[in-house]
Structures are given as structure tokens and as C-alpha cells.
Structure 1
Amino acid sequence: MSKILHVYKTCYPETQGGIEQVIKNLSKGLLELDQNVRILALSDEDKVVNYQGVEVVFFKRTFSIKSNCFSLSMLKNIKPHFDWADVINFHYPWPSGDMFIPLIDKVKPIVVTYHSDIVRQKLLRIVYSPLEKYFLKRADAIVPTSQNYLKSSTTLASYKEKCSVVALGVDFEEYTAVDTVIRESMEEKVGRDFFLFVGVLRYYKGLQYLVEAAKISNCPIVIAGKGPEEKRLKEYVKQNQLSNVHFLGFVSEAEKNALLSLCKCFVFPSFIRSEAFGVSLVEALYHGRPIISCDISTGTSFVNEHNLTGYVVAPADSQALATAMINMNEDKRYLEFVDNARTRAESLFSYQTMAESYLDIYNSLLSDES
């Protein structure tokens, strides 16, 4: 049994984003493989919780600048956790987390799960670049989430010899049962055979192009989620009198599953490299839903394979999205896409497969150390 320490700025049950979901699923898989797992993250206060059998140690957040947060409490108290661990797994990007590297014994293996390049924060990137180089150079293994991202990342180009790709995995047990009462309630609200987006309404999600595509195509669109782009999107829909676009706001996991069972297709219009993989794409595949996504040279085009599980179209192109939605309604291969979607999800993206691959990496590093 090895002691595995995960380090990231946020974690379940406090926040529930994509990276947090990956850490949760990876930890669950490692526990099932008889590993000892601990997670370090930030919160509004110092505390320790047990979440699904995993010890999660939260340190009080001192300040945040944009999406980067820092904790003096973590800086003061993290060393014993590093000493406890056999392997330390950082989740990148989190620039403040890189500062803890000098506190780690030089012979202790460090793994970096590389979720995404730093894309929009250009000033931060200039300031952060020397620390980033030190951090990635010190890492013993770097784990991108797809070959597409590894090939297209200028940051990873200097570290390819230490990269091992492992696809992200999800826990399909969370999606097996659709509540019939909730499904009926959702159907009363939005009908069925609509084009669905579920996620945080952020700039890089490309939802401005989706609502423009709704105007062009007149296809029914359902957008579930909240976020900083919500007001602007709703103003566009109101100004253009688009009765075919419905905003549901935040939805629960059960409501999301119901929507996935009702929709015609899942649409994922993210248009820049901040979208490195898209765990929600795997969820859609598992529900047997074809996908329309954009070619941004990341893992999204690995999850959704063009003409096998749906369409991959040009990014930041509302006309391309509109055409794809119209074609999806008419494509005689639709039922093939449905069958291929579920098969691809189960064969490539289980959390068990992800955990086994990570354990192979950990064990390889530990054997090299000994």
C-alpha cells in the first residue's frame, strides 16, 4: 500500500468543477486498489473532513487573484503531509501550488496531472513562467489528459520525455438511474429532442456562438448552468426574441441525468484551449447521446470522435454549429452515433481504468526510487 497525496486549490465537497471531479474519481479508484489517499485543498477555514473514505485537509484561503488563490496556513503546515506521502500528485494549473515544491524531499516522486495550459492570463503567465519551468522540471512524471493536448501544447513540448497520457475517467454508477418523476418534470419544462449544454457559463465555453446558432437554425436549445456569461447571453436571446432557447440555471445531478436522457444531442461549443478535456462529454456519451464539439486541438476531439460519436466543427463559428445541428436532425447515422457513444464511454473513460494507469505510474516511480 502506497500513500498518495493529491494537492490542488479546491476539492469536493466544497466545490464541484471538472478538476475536482477528476480528483474525486481518481481517489475513489485508488482506494479500491488498496492505496492510502489524502487530499490537500483550500477553503474558508482550516478543517479536516472525510469525503467518501478519503481524508481531505482544507487550509484557510488567505487571498485570491482571479482564479489563483494562496494560503499562508497551507504554507506553514504542508510539510508534514509531504513527509507522510510516498508520491505527491499536483494538479496543474495552480501557480500558487508550485511554490511548495522546495519543501519536498528531492528524492520523493512528484507527479503532475496537466489539466490545461494557462491561456488567457497573459500577465500572470509572464510573471509565473520561471516558477512554472522550475515546477515542471522538478516533476518526475507529467500526465496530460489526451494525446491531442500533448501534441499541441507549447508548454509541454520541452517535457515530452516525462509525459504519460492518461484519459480522465468518470464514475458511471452516478449516471445509471434516471428518476422518472424528475424526468417528467424536465420534459414538461423543455420537451424532448432538444440540443443540450450543461456547465458553467464561462467565456471560453463559446455559448455566444451557440445562441447565435440557435437564431440561424431555429433548433431548440437548452442551457443548464450558471456563470459570469449568463446575463449577456440572456440579453442576446431577449433582444433577438429567440423563443427556442431555454435557460434552466443550476441543475442537480438527477436533473442533469434527466436532461441527458431527453435531449437529441449534447452541444459543447468551447472554442479555446482552456477546455482541455470536457468531463461532461463523457457523461453525454454514457447516456448514449451524440455530441457536437469544436476542433481546438485538445482532448475534446478525442472524447468526441468526428463521424463516430457526432461531429467536430470549426471553433468560434456559429454557422458551423447551426449547420451541424440541422444535419444531426437529418443524419441517418444518428442511431449509430447513439450506439457508438455508450460503447466509447465504457471502453475508454471509466474511473477504474484511470486509477489503474495512475497506479502504474506511481509504482514505476517508486521502484526507480528504491
Structure 2
Amino acid sequence: MRVALVSMYTTHHEETGATRRLRRTAELLAERDHDVFVCCAQWWGGEVAEFKQNDVTYYRVTETPSSGRFASKIPFILREISPDVIQVASYPPSHVTAVKTAARFLRTPVIADWWNRDKRGGSRAYKRAAKAPNAVLVPSEMVRTQVRELGTSVSATQVVPEPINMGLVRDSSVEERADVVYSRELDEHANVESFLLALAELRDKGWSAAVIGDGPERSTAEQTARDLRIDDRVEFLGELPADEAVPIMKGAHVFAQTATVEPFATNLLWGLACGCVSIVEYQARSSAHELVEGRERGSLVTSPQELADEIVAARGFDHCTIDDDFARYDFRHIVDEYETVYDAEIDDYGFF
């Protein structure tokens, strides 16, 4: 199958949840021997129009990111590639409608991959983008609700979550480095303060904690730990690759999730798969609660005090290093879901 993934931005331009999802999807499809083309602004050097990396062909639409120029040129690029299916990122939203217009002439179905509403996009453009595709893929029910509120029909939306590598979870060793773990990019939405405040409530109890992740708010979080006088018991480990983070999660007993914005809580999913008792602070713009609702080894809280209480209560659970209930999120199953959607949309489009 020839698959065109359209996104002006890639991880080479900016590291966001949307661009990371694009890269993972492209590389997983390429591993399945699909011909994968990422139509994007150029990020590589030289005059060549194509650049291949990890079996994915990156195809230049514009030399630099420019929303208007990209939208005007993408129809000609898609005609050159002649894909069987087109998947387009939801930002910028004007690109979704541009791709849909081009696809009518190519007689090719369009699928939008909707990570989150980017604040740089306009509300009218997003409403048009939500109604344009043949199908819309979302990472969580929370995002699905957002897209439906913009006008997408119920039947056109499908949840395809982020993947993890269960083989890595099963094969990794156990590193007993911390009792409680927090893991996420430390940006303005990380809300590490809630996690640290909960730990401070338990300063008279024996525990150790680790914060995995890096970002612009790391120094602030470290200062907060010092101000709360728990810095000697909280280790800031920085960003770690999965093969280093997983053993620490397998050695921990509790995973705490407090971020205020989370289209899909991938790090929480890793913690759950590693057997952690997982405690989620409910946030209106986070889907993390979806992963723990109804689970015995998971709970929802609304404040640092409740988080502290649940950390104490977690002692009532046996330590566990693998939870096979989350094997359904393995990358092999997730790429199957993408292929199923593609095949269905191609068949439906061809029927008419």
C-alpha cells in the first residue's frame, strides 16, 4: 500500500505529541513493507526533493514551513506520489481541507489524524477541517469528544491510541531505584508541583521518588523540591529512552500522573504495563483517567492531599512488574488498527 502522511511539521522541526505520533506511525507502517511518504517542509540539507530515513521517504513540499504555500503546493505533490490513502495532520487545519480538495481529483480517501487542537489554529478552520475527511483518527475518547463538538460525525471517528513495546516490558530487568515515579516532558503542562506537594505530605514516611523527563520547567520543579525540603529523596533523572525508563518503572510500586494537558498519557501507559499502582489527578484537558477508570490497581484523585492518601493506600497491593492487560497497546496491534482503517476507507471509497 502507498501511504502519504501529510504534515508540514515533523520531529525535525519541532518535538510535539503530534509530530512524534507522525514519526511512529510512519516508521511502523514502513516496517510492514508499506511505501510510506511523509509530505512535509524540508528539514534536510541540499537540493534533493526526497530524503529517506528509517525506510520512510520524506518528500519536500516547501523549503521552509509556510502554511499558505504548503496548502497551495500539496495537491501537486500528492499527484506525483499517487497514494492509495492519505493521512493528514490536523494542524494547520487549512491543510486538511486542501488535501481533501486534492483527493477528490485523485479519488483517494483522506484520513485526518487529530492529536490536539493547536492554539495556533483558528476555530473556523478547525470546524471545516473536522468535517472534511472521510475518517478522523484520535488518540483518546477525550479528543474524540472534542472533534465531534467541531462537527465530525460519530461514525467517522475512531480511537487509535499510542503504542508501547510490550516485548521490552517483558524482557527488561527490574531496577529498584524509586518507590514512586513521575514521567513526562517537564513543560508548562507537567504540573510536577502537585506530585511534589503530595510527597511533602508524606515526609514522615519512608519513600524514595524519581522524576523522569526534561524540559523548560525542570529547574522550577527542582527548586520546588528544595523548598519543600524533600530534594534529598526525589531524584531528577532527566529524559531517558524507554529501555532505561522501563526497568525503573518495573522497580517502582506507584506511578503518579498529574499533567494538566494530555491527549494520550503514553508515559502512564508504560507505568501501567510495568505493573505500577497508578494514581491519576483528574484534569479537564487530560485523557489520563481513561486508562485507570475501573481498574483495581488505579485510582483518580483531585488534589495533592488525595494523591498522598492514595500513595499510602497503594501499600495494600502486591508489587507487580508486568500487567498483560495492556498488551493490546503493543505497537503490533496498533499498526494493525491503522491498516484496518486504511483498508476500510479504500474499500468504501472504491465502492462508490
Q: TM-score, normalised by structure 1?
A: 0.78
Q: 1:250 to 1:356 in 2, by over 3 A?
A: closer
- TM alignment of 1:209-248, pairs within 5 A: 209-218=194-203, 219-242=207-230, 243-248=232-237
CA distance in 2, matches of 1:322, 1:342: 24
Aligned partner of 1:66 in structure 2 is none
Aligned partner of 1:343 in structure 2 is 324
The residue identity in structure 2 corresponding to 1:319 is Q
Whether 1:313 aligns to 2:297 is no
Aligned partner of 1:353 in structure 2 is 333
Contact 1:42–1:58 (8 Å) recurs in 2: yes
Contact 2:90–2:113 (8 Å) recurs in 1: yes
The residue identity in structure 1 corresponding to 2:74 is I
CA distance in 2, matches of 1:212, 1:221: 12
Aligned partner of 2:291 in structure 1 is 303
- TM alignment of 1:182-197, pairs within 5 A: 183=175, 191-192=177-178, 194-197=179-182
CA distance in 2, matches of 1:72, 1:138: 18
CA distance in 2, matches of 1:53, 1:14: 19
Aligned partner of 1:327 in structure 2 is 313
Q: Unaligned regions of 5+ residues in structure 2, if any? A: none
Following superposition, the deviation at residue 269 of structure 1 comes to: 0.8
CA distance in 2, matches of 1:202, 1:352: 30
CA distance in 2, matches of 1:73, 1:111: 22
Following superposition, the deviation at residue 71 of structure 1 comes to: 6.0
2:99 to 93, 98, 101: 101
- Residue deviations 1:302-344 (CA, integer Å, cap 9, x gap): 3233443322222xx211221121211x22x334xx37x6212
Contact 2:67–2:92 (8 Å) recurs in 1: no
Aligned partner of 1:8 in structure 2 is 7
Q: 1:214 to 1:12 in 2, by over 3 A?
A: same
Q: 1:342 to 1:155 in 2, by over 3 A?
A: same
Q: 1:169 to 1:262 in 2, by over 3 A?
A: same
Identity of aligned residues (%): 15
Aligned partner of 2:256 in structure 1 is 267
Aligned partner of 2:125 in structure 1 is 131
- Residue deviations 1:191-250 (CA, integer Å, cap 9, x gap): 33x211222102222211111112112343211221121222222222222232222223
- TM alignment of 1:54-73, pairs within 5 A: 54-57=56-59, 62=64, 70=66
Q: 1:82 to 1:165 in 2, by over 3 A?
A: same
The residue identity in structure 1 corresponding to 2:110 is I
Following superposition, the deviation at residue 56 of structure 1 comes to: 2.8
- TM alignment of 1:150-165, pairs within 5 A: 150-151=144-145, 155-156=149-150, 158-165=152-159
SS of the aligned residue for 1:203 comes to: coil
The residue identity in structure 2 corresponding to 1:312 is L
**Which fold has the larger relative contact order, with Cα–Cα distance below 8 Å and residues 6 or more apart in sequence?**
1
Following superposition, the deviation at residue 100 of structure 1 comes to: 4.1
Q: How many residues align?
A: 338
Q: 1:350 to 1:253 in 2, by over 3 A?
A: closer
Q: 1:179 to 1:288 in 2, by over 3 A?
A: closer
**CA RMSD for the aligned pairs?**
3.2
